[in-house]
Structure formats: C-alpha cells, structure tokens
C-alpha cells in the first residue's frame, strides 16, 4: 500500500517541488498551503506522515501537531524549521513530533527522515513475539545529520550510492568524525534496514576472547563459559555488522575474521557445527590501513575484502558551513535528554564555534554542548559555559605570527598570492578565517 504524506507550507513553489520529488519516490502526496486547508485534509483524510512548516500564516506547527494527535494518533509529524525556531521544534518533539529538519531543506534528508519515521511506525505495529531477542545486543538507530558543505554533499552522495548495494565499506577518518553515524546511515538506506545493525568495538575485544565474541561459544567450551553465547556474526545475520576501529585487531584475529567473511560461515567455540551467516560488513578506522599493510601489521587480503568501497569522514573544521547545523542538532538532543529549554547560542559562542579547530570533531562538539546545556542558567549558551581549553585555544590563534607594523602588508601579499581566496590566504598566514575577516575590517581592506 502506498504511504500517504501531507505537506504543509505557505511557500507554494517549495510545496510543489517537494511533492514532485516524493511522488517520484513512490509516495502519495497532498499539499496544503495554510493551516485552514491542512485542517480539512487532516479531518477528512488519513495520512501516514504530516510534514509541516513550524511557522504558517494562520497558525503554527504546534497546533497542527495537536490536531493530528487528536484526530489520527498513528500519524507521524515531522517539522520543518529555521535555526531561530529551535526551541519550538524541541517543544514539539516533547509533545509527540517524530523529528524536525532544518531549513534550507535538502530533499534527500527529508526522504531519509520520512523513511525512518515510517520504519518506526511499522515497528510499533509488530507483535511482541517479533521483537529481537534480549540476548542479542543491537545498536539503536542514530540520527544522521545532513550538512550543506561540499564535504557533506560528497559524503551524502557516496552513502546514497553504496547503501543499496551489498558492497563492504571502509570508513576512514579521525576520531570523533561520526564514522558510526555514517555506518548507521548506510544500513538504514540499505535493503537490510529491517534487519539487525550490530556495532563491535574491535579495540575492546581481548585477543583470547575474540573467537567467542565474534562467533559465540557453547556452554562448557572453556573456563567461564557457563552459558551458550551468541556471537556478533550470528547476531547480525541478515543485517549489517559494523567493525569499529578494525585496525586494532591482532593479526591472529584478522585471520579468523577473513575466513568467516570468505566462507560466510562461523563455528562457535566448542561446537562441531558451522552456522551460515548472511551479513554486510562495514568497517571503520582512524588509522592508515594501507600503511599498516605495508608495515605488515594488517593483512592485505583482509584489507581488500573490507575495502570494496571507501568513504572518508571529514574533520569538523573542514565543514565550516555545517558547524551551526550540527551545533543546533546537538542542542536539540541535549534539551531533550536533559529536559531543558535552551534556545540557542549567543553571538560570541557562534563566532568561537566557527573559528575553533575542534580536534575532537563531532564528539567534542556534542559533549561540549551537552555540558553547556546542563550548566546554563539563561536561554542562551554563553562563553563562560564553555571549557577553558576552547577559550585558551581561540585566544592563542587570534594573534598573527608577525609584527603589527607588517601585518597589513603581509595580509595583502597573502591575498595576492592566493588570487584573493580568503580561505587559502588564512591558511597561508596560519590564522583562521574569522581572524582574517576581522583584520580586513580593521585595515579597511576592501575586496
């Protein structure tokens, strides 16, 4: 049966564009350009998803949400919102909205959110007997935030291309860049999305227990094996196994892993019977595995088995246009988790976020914002709530490495050398772009 979607927005051209996009994806779509029209459709029709702007000329998303919940409780609501409406979006999620997407809207992000929304509805309809065994540890669904930078567009393109295939994927990137988020997104857009996603921290598995962890064991097979154990491979059967920091596996364990991947069979420790497994493998590493192969620390055949398709997770400081998108997303998460109503960031914090190097990438930003939300005593996050090392790092970078008398000349020369590309000029001067913009203003350098 075709899923029905109601799109509510006073921007007529946007509504028509989104309707056309979603219809091509197989949905039945109805447009409403104001709350009055929407009310009639909701009262007289049945929709699986209502997608509404949080600001309407004759109402708002909260009233739409309330009407939907009273009229059709099984219908899911997704809000579309600008940065300034973050508090309203958070409050609406507390009142029962499934999620929100930020403006400007990316059609693929909307599609992904709708798919997750419908998946949640389908899971609620499953009988209790169909739920997963509690003995199998399966990672929960993780939100994948779509940015607008070139790096994000390329990342999203690669995810969309490889997700429907059965290819093994190797995700490379620094610690904290969201490699598991990317793996989750690949799984959720794949043909295995209704099957388990099992995440394994390879660095946390002791060498002597690796066989048991990956392939399971039977009771009494070794000292301490007091019960049968389901291994990660069997737990992921039909779905996806995510091998996080796969470079940490010992050479002996790599041999066992390669054999399991090649034969698509596993044998629990102490058992004489092999178990067939059908799994997709996604691996991640913050190491240079190709260099590890050259050193002899990582098996070349396993490397090629895992690396049918590779994706580079960009560092946060390479995604300037995405920084406040992520910041607002983590703010909404923290508000929900801590039951707070922090509405945003003051101007100084936003400037610091854009100039800070973020060595811990997305993980550092998430933790920083969550801590700040917990400490906040006003509606906005201010500088005094941020860790001291962030403030100190920023102060150190705000000083150019040459004398002030030569500063203006050096800036002009750097701009000329880079054909007036501000980003390249800032790198040449060893300062961040925000500092360069301030210096251009200080010296009245017009470009």
Instruction: Write the DSSP string, 275-334.
Output: EE---EEEEEESS-HHHHHHHTSS-HHHHHHH-SEEEE---GGG-GGGHHHHHHHHHHHH
Q: Are residues 9 and 110 in the same domain?
A: yes
For residue 399, the model assigns a pLDDT of 45
In a domain, 359, yes or no: yes
Q: What is the mean pLDDT of residues 106-112?
A: 79
Q: How far apart are CA 312 and CA 382, in angstroms?
A: 33
**Does residue 21 carry a pLDDT above 80?**
yes
Return the minimum-mean-pLDDT range out of 25-29, 111-115, 175-179, 244-248. 111-115
CATH number for the domain harbouring residue 93: 3.40.50.2300
Instruction: Report whether 39 contacts 6 (CB < 8 A).
Output: no
| 257 and 115 assigned to the same domain | no
pLDDT at 403 over 70: no
Side by side, the strands of the sheet bearing 76-81 are 28-32, 4-8, 49-53, 76-81, 99-102
DSSP 7: E
Per-residue confidence band for 394, with pLDDT thresholds at 50, 70 and 90: low
Question: How many domains does the structure of the chain reveal?
Answer: 4
Q: Is the pLDDT of residue 83 over 60?
A: no
128 and 105 Cβ atoms separated by less than 8 Å: no
Question: What is the mean predicted confidence (pLDDT) over 206-227?
Answer: 79
Domain-embedded: residue 142: no
| pLDDT for the residue 86 | 57
Note the pLDDT of residue 16: 86
**Among the ranges given (154-168, 288-302, 423-437), the one the predictor scored with the smallest mean pLDDT:** 423-437
141 inside domain: no
157 and 306 housed in the same domain: yes
| Residue 180 φ then ψ, to 5° | -70, -35
Task: Give the Cα separation of 387 and 354 in Å (integer).
Answer: 16
| Whole-number CA gyration radius for the chain | 25
Lowest mean pLDDT segment, chosen from 34-43, 95-104, 358-367, 380-389: 95-104
Residue 361 binned pLDDT confidence (cut-offs 50, 70, 90): very high
CATH number at 372 reads 1.10.8.60
Q: Distance between CA 97 and CA 62 in Å, rounded?
A: 9
Is the CB of residue 340 less than 8 Å from the CB of residue 89? no
Cα–Cα dist 238/236, whole Å: 6
Report field, pTM of the whole predicted structure over 0.75: no
3-state DSSP: the chain helix, strand, coil percent, rounded to 5?
A: 50, 15, 35
Handedness of CA 428, 429, 431, 434 (dihedral sign): negative
Instruction: Determine how β-strand 76-81 pairs with β-strand 99-102.
Output: parallel
- 294 and 169 together in one domain: yes
333, exposed or middle or buried, with CB in 10 Å at 0-12, 13-18, 19+?
middle
- Indicate if the alpha-carbon torsion angle 55, 57, 59, 64 is positive or negative: negative
The pLDDT of residue 102 is above 90? no
Confidence of residue 373 (pLDDT cuts 50, 70, 90): very high
Which of 13-22, 110-119, 155-164, 176-185 has the lowest average pLDDT?
110-119
Q: How far is CA 89 from CA 82, 289, 341, 349, in A?
A: 9, 42, 11, 21
- Pick the more confident residue, 199 or 271: 199
pLDDT at 440 over 60: yes
pLDDT number for residue 409 = 80
Averaged pLDDT for residues 28-41:
91
**CA separation for the pair 267, 41 (Å, rounded):** 56
> Last residue of a domain, which of 295, 312, 329?
312
145: confidence class by pLDDT, cuts 50, 70, 90: low
Q: Are residues 325 and 308 in the same domain?
A: no
Q: Are the CB atoms for 62 and 92 separated by under 8 Å?
A: yes
> Tokens 């291309």 — which residue?
161
Q: How many residues does the chain have?
A: 447
How many angstroms separate the CA atoms of 370 and 426, rounded? 31
Closest listed residue to residue 171, CA positions, set 243, 108, 112, 253: 243
Tokens 């420790």, located at residue:
269
pLDDT score for 402: 46
| 17, 21, 22, 28 alpha-carbon torsion, rounded to 10° | 70
**CA 288 from chain center: how many Å?**
23
Q: By percentage, how much of the chain surpasses pLDDT 90?
A: 39
The DSSP letter of residue 409 is H
Same structural domain for residues 85 and 204? Answer: no
Report how far residue 242's alpha carbon sits from residue 201's, in angstroms, rounded to the nearest whole number: 9
Residue 140 lies in a domain: no
Using the predicted structure, report yes or no on whether residue 62 has a pLDDT greater than 90.
no
**Mean residue pLDDT across the chain:** 83
- Residue 12 has which token pair? 């007529």
pLDDT of residue 89: 64
**Residue 389 lies inside a defined structural domain of this protein:** yes
With a cut of 50, say whether residue 137 has pLDDT above it. Answer: no
Domain range for 80: 4-129
User: Does the residue 321 lie in any domain?
Assistant: yes
Q: What is the mean pLDDT of residues 351-366?
A: 91
The CATH number of the domain holding residue 270 is 3.40.50.300
The full DSSP string for 86-113 is HHHHHHHHHTT--EEEESSPPHHHHHHH
Banded pLDDT at 252 (limits 50, 70, 90): confident
Q: Which two tokens stand for residue 200?
A: 């394994």
pLDDT tier for residue 408 given thresholds of 50, 70 and 90: confident
How confident is residue 222, by pLDDT bands cut at 50, 70 and 90? confident
């Amino acid at each position: 049966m075709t899923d029905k979607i109601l799109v509510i927005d006073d921007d007529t051209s946007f509504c028509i564009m989104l309707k056309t996009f979603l219809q091509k994806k197989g949905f039945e779509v109805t447009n409403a350009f104001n709350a009055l029209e929407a009310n009639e459709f909701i009262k007289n029709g049945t929709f699986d998803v209502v997608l509404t702007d949080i600001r309407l000329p004759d109402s708002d998303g909260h009233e739409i949400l309330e009407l939907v919940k009273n009229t059709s409780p099984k219908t899911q609501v997704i809000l579309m919102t600008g940065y300034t409406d973050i508090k309203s979006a958070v409050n609406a999620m507390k009142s029962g909205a499934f999620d929100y997407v930020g403006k400007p809207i990316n059609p693929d992000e909307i599609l992904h959110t709708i798919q997750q929304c419908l998946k949640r509805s389908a899971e609620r309809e499953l009988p209790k007997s169909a739920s997963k065994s509690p003995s199998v540890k399966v990672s929960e669904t993780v939100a994948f935030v779509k940015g607008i930078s070139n790096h994000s567009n390329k990342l999203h393109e690669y995810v969309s291309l490889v997700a429907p295939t059965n290819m093994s994927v190797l995700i490379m990137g620094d610690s904290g860049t969201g490699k598991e988020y990317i793996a989750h997104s690949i799984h959720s857009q794949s043909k295995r999305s209704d099957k388990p996603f099992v995440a394994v921290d390879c660095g946390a598995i002791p060498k002597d227990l690796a066989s048991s962890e990956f392939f399971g064991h039977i009771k009494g097979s070794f000292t301490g094996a007091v019960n049968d154990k389901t291994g990660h491979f069997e737990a992921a059967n039909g779905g996806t196994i995510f091998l996080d920091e796969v470079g940490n596996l010992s050479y002996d364990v790599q041999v066992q892993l390669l054999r399991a991947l090649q034969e698509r069979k596993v044998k629990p420790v102490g058992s004489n019977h092999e178990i067939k497994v059908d799994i997709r493998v996604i691996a991640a590493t913050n190491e240079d595995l190709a260099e590890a192969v050259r050193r002899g620390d990582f098996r070349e055949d396993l490397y090629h088995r895992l690396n049918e398709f590779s994706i580079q997770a960009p560092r946060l400081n390479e995604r300037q246009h995405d920084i406040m998108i992520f910041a607002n997303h983590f703010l909404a998460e923290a508000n929900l988790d801590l039951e707070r109503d922090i509405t945003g960031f003051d101007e100084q914090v936003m400037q610091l976020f854009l100039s800070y190097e973020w060595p811990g990438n997305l993980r550092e930003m998430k933790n920083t914002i969550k801590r700040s939300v917990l400490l906040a005593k006003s509606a906005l996050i201010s500088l005094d709530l941020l860790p001291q090392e962030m403030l100190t790092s920023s102060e150190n970078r705000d000083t150019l490495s040459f004398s002030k008398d030569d500063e203006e000349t050096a800036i002009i020369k750097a701009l000329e050398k880079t054909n007036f590309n501000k980003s390249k000029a800032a790198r040449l001067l060893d300062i961040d772009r925000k500092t360069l913009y301030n210096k251009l203003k200080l010296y009245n350098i017009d470009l």
